[in-house]
Amino acid sequence: MERSDFPIFYPMQTRWMDNDIYGHVNNVTYYSYFDSAINRFLIEKGGLNIHASDVVGFVVSSNCQFRKPLAYPDAISVGLRVAKIGHSSVTYETGIFRDSETEASAYGQVVHVFVSREHNTATRIPESIHQALEQIVVHHFD
């Protein structure tokens, strides 16, 4: 995946603690980068109040393809786009890029199901979030 495949980016900084014994960012840490970018988008663009909203997004599926290792102190950007929006779920596609590179070091997919905080059951995506998600939908033509 290329940088041009993504409509929005969130800058991040790898941390010393992200490195594992092999001297590169540990594989599980990539998921925290994905999660941070997605939730920042939902808060900033969709108006999600993580402490008080009636609806929360639960990750029900995720995957990552590792292409090139990252290591502290790499400055990175996480690209975000939406592949699919349903009534209560959304499929995000993410890419992690060194700031100096156009090819993704890793890319993945995360599926959120929006859930009623009170009842812990699937519910419709709130309109403000749905509108924000629509802004970064990519249309696949297979």
Instruction: Please say whether the structural domain 3-134 has been given the CATH code 3.10.129.10.
Output: yes
Tell me the pLDDT tens digit for each residue of 113-137: 999 999 999 999 999 999 999 999 9
Percent of the chain scoring above 70 in pLDDT = 98
pTM, full prediction: 0.93
Q: What are the domain boundaries of the chain?
A: 3-134
92 and 38 in contact (C-beta within 8 Å)?
yes
